[in-house]
């Protein structure tokens, strides 16, 4: 399903930060199957969620397990992060989220912009 306006802008409560990174993700129900993680391009991220550019329209309400890698950052003391600005340092965030909207990309119509609301963090 695709959201009518596809933007999610009206519902956003957290400020977004633009990032040009890749995210690996899988549906929660595929986690223990032999379904490989897929790649998506991170378009932006904020405290409440993120927007990915992906190859398929994911069903609204799908639960995703995501792995985000941030070059130049390090995780310290649990949930605290520091910016090292050293590309070899890579902070890894494992998060759970729910697909809240999907729209055909305006700039790349073969791909889908997908809004995901964070629902948790994986600490393992």
Please give the CATH superfamily to which domain 17-121 belongs: predicted glycosyltransferase like domains (2.40.10.220)
- Mean of pLDDT values over 78-101: 88
DSSP-assigned letter for residue 28:
G
For CA atoms 45, 32, 91, 123, give the dihedral sign.
positive
Residues 2-37 have pLDDT tens digits of 444 444 455 545 444 445 688 999 999 898 888 889
- Mean of pLDDT values over 79-106: 90
For 42, other C-beta atoms within 10 Å of its C-beta total 19
All residues at 6 or more sequence positions from 67 whose CB lies less than 8 Å from its CB, including other chains: 23, 24, 25, 37, 92, 93, 94
Instruction: Tell me the pLDDT band of 57, cut-offs 50, 70 and 90.
Output: very high
Per-residue pLDDT at 3: 46
For CA atoms 53, 45, 98, 23, give the dihedral sign.
positive
Per-residue pLDDT at 20: 63
Structural domain boundaries in the chain: 17-121
For 102, other C-beta atoms within 10 Å of its C-beta total 23
Per-residue pLDDT at 99: 98
């Amino acid at each position: 399903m695709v959201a009518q306006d596809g933007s999610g802008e009206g519902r956003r409560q957290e400020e977004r930060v633009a990032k040009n990174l890749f995210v690996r993700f899988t549906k929660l129900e595929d986690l223990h199957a032999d379904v490989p993680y897929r790649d998506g391009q991170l378009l932006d991220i904020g405290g409440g969620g993120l927007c990915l550019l992906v190859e398929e329209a994911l069903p609204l309400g799908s639960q995703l397990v995501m792995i985000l890698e941030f070059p130049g950052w390090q995780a310290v003391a649990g949930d605290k992060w520091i910016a090292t600005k050293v590309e070899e340092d890579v902070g890894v965030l494992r998060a759970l989220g729910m697909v809240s909207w999907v729209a055909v990309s305006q700039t790349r119509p073969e791909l889908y912009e997908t809004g995901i609301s964070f629902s948790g963090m994986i600490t393992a």
